[in-house]
């Protein structure tokens, strides 16, 4: 799977899942523009890892959680300075608010929705308008989440936003597929990133619990998301529109995991 001659903008592309996607696309010959919130050592490491594949890799920085229109205009203005030929868009930037529903503030909920939903919606609109005007067969990939399928305690805002992303991908497919633009999503389960490393520390109870609830028994690194993203953006996926590919080790299809043998007879007892 190659993406030679293509240029991709990856929001949130400097760390975690975004970095894995950025590096996978660069390895396939794609020029990349990596968006991050702020400049730091990790953003430079990701850029340099992309450049090792002999492609152009640029960094831009912008906060996408504020009022949507000025945030999007600011980002596009920065991207245009380094690459005016973007034909692949990866809407990966996101956040989550880990708060109980009854304590959820308007500010926290709105910030989550602006970054996880509004930014991707209107960034896609902006690039789709360009592509249609220039007869470019653009491709769009959203990063969803297993939380768009399965609710998680104290993640009501995040769950809501990722459920919206799944439906948005379908709606944008209906709007853009007739215009030659493909829209899909990739939805990871739990993977190890800078944001989740503290939750899944080696040999921790949390890690064992997640492994138990995953048919594959694995909580992998974010690199497992790179190949899935590459496939959905490649020519090999030319007839895949409006779909969400779950990269979750099977967690979303398992109604109830088996009780480990060492716990049989103990769960439910006093």
Domains of the chain: 7-191+223-246 (3.40.50.720)
Mean pLDDT for back-to-back runs of 10 residues, the chain (270 residues): 97 97 98 97 97 98 96 98 98 90 95 97 98 98 96 93 98 98 97 80 83 90 96 98 97 79 53
Task: Quote the pLDDT of residue 270.
Answer: 38
Angle between helices 119-134 and 156-176 (to 10 degrees): 10
Name the DSSP letter for residue 203. T
Provide the pairing of β-strand 57-61 with 31-36.
parallel
Token digits for 2? 């190659």
CA separation, residue 170 to residues 12, 175, 176, 243 (Å): 22, 9, 10, 7
CA-to-CA distance for 263 and 118, rounded, in angstroms? 44
Task: Quote the pLDDT of residue 6.
Answer: 98
Task: Quote the pLDDT of residue 66.
Answer: 94
CA separation, residue 73 to residues 61, 62, 76, 162 (Å): 13, 10, 5, 24
Task: Quote the pLDDT of residue 267.
Answer: 47
| Sequence-ordered list of residues with C-beta below 8 angstroms from that of 77, at least 6 positions apart, any chain | none
Task: Quote the pLDDT of residue 259.
Answer: 67
Task: Quote the pLDDT of residue 39.
Answer: 95
Token digits for 9? 């903008």
Task: Quote the pLDDT of residue 212.
Answer: 85
């Amino acid at each position: 799977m190659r993406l030679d001659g293509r240029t991709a903008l990856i929001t949130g592309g400097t760390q975690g899942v975004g970095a894995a996607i950025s590096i996978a696309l660069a390895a396939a010959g794609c020029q990349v523009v990596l968006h991050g919130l702020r400049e730091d050592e990790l953003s430079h490491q990701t850029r340099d890892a992309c450049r090792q594949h002999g492609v152009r890799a640029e960094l831009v920085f912008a906060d996408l959680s504020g009022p949507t229109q000025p945030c999007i205009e600011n980002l596009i203005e920065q991207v245009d300075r380094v690459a005016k030929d973007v034909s692949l868009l990866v809407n990966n930037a996101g956040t989550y608010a880990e708060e109980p529903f009854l304590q959820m503030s308007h500010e926290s909920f709105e910030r989550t929705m602006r970054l996880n939903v509004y930014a991707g919606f209107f960034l896609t609109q902006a690039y789709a308008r360009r592509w249609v005007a220039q007869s470019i067969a653009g491709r769009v990939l959203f990063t969803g989440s297993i939380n768009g399928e399965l609710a998680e305690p104290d993640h009501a805002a995040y769950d809501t936003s990722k459920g919206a992303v799944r439906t948005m991908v379908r709606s944008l497919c209906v709007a853009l597929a007739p215009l030659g633009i493909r829209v899909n999503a990739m939805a990871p389960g739990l993977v190890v990133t800078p944001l989740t490393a503290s939750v899944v520390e080696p040999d921790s109870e949390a890690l064992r619990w997640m492994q138990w609830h995953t048919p594959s028994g694995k909580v992998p690194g974010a690199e497992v998301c790179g190949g899935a993203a590459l496939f959905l953006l490649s020519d090999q996926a030319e007839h895949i529109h409006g779909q969400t590919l779950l990269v979750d080790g099977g967690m979303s299809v398992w109604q109830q995991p088996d009780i480990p043998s060492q716990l049989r007879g103990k769960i439910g007892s006093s």
